[in-house]
Amino acid sequence: MSEMIERMAKAMCDAHIPGSWQTAEWPQRHHYIDQARAAIEAIREPTQAMIAAACDDFDKRGRGQQSYTHIWQAMIDEALK
């Protein structure tokens, strides 16, 4: 399992019941892992608005690791609107 899937599964579980990931049994964790995987698959194809946000951010910052982090965050921020 990737770090991102685990991070998202933990966030989903803890959003349901704060702090519950630490005490969750495997069946409950597995449920949230499946949900996290489905959520990541759903956002795999960006919307046009997300692409526009990435282009705008890229135009401001150029290339480089820090720039790509900002581009990713700009895309996710757009998705969260």
Task: Give the domain ranges of the chain.
Answer: 3-42, 48-80
What is the C-alpha separation between 27 and 72, in angstroms, rounded? 32
pLDDT score of 66 more than 80: no
Q: pLDDT for 7-51, tens place per residue?
A: 999 999 999 999 999 999 999 999 999 999 999 999 888 889 888
User: Which residue from 71, 80, 79 is spatially nearest to 49, judged by alpha carbons?
Assistant: 79
Highest mean pLDDT among 33-37, 50-54, 58-62: 33-37
